[in-house]
Amino acid sequence: MPASLDCEGGFVTWKLVAKVRRPGVFTSNLTTTREVQVVSVPADADIETTGDILIEKAWSDQLQYLFKVSGKVFPVGASFKVKMMFMPLAKIRMYKLAVDIEGK
């Protein structure tokens, strides 16, 4: 079953429909609809849940950086901490830092 999705090229939505049929001539049947958010979750066997994500690199003999994320799996909508360390290898200044996080 595909996850709920709304993007530029189209959308996938799921709805739950409940119907109550009531006997009798003067009683009406009841129907209601609710949209349901379906989330895709990997199987437990497909992921390694323990350990940290560690990224360490040097940039042109100017700056060495280290990013550390405690954990590998997080619930949808949860917050998590990222430890960032910057070690200058030359006399430099940082004026701006932009971070993009992409889920895979």
Tokens coding 18: 């409940």
| pLDDT for the residue 37 | 87
In this prediction the pTM is: 0.49
- 39 Cβ partners below 8 Å, 6+ apart? 3, 4, 76
Long-range (24+ apart) CB contacts under 8 A made by 30-35 are none
Q: What Rg do the C-alpha atoms of the chain give, in angstroms?
A: 25
Model confidence pLDDT, tens digit, residues 46-101: 666 677 889 899 888 888 999 998 887 777 778 888 899 998 888 888 888 888 77
CA distances from 104 to 14, 57, 65 (A): 23, 21, 23
Tokens coding 6: 């709304």
Model confidence pLDDT, tens digit, residues 2-23: 787 788 888 888 999 999 999 8
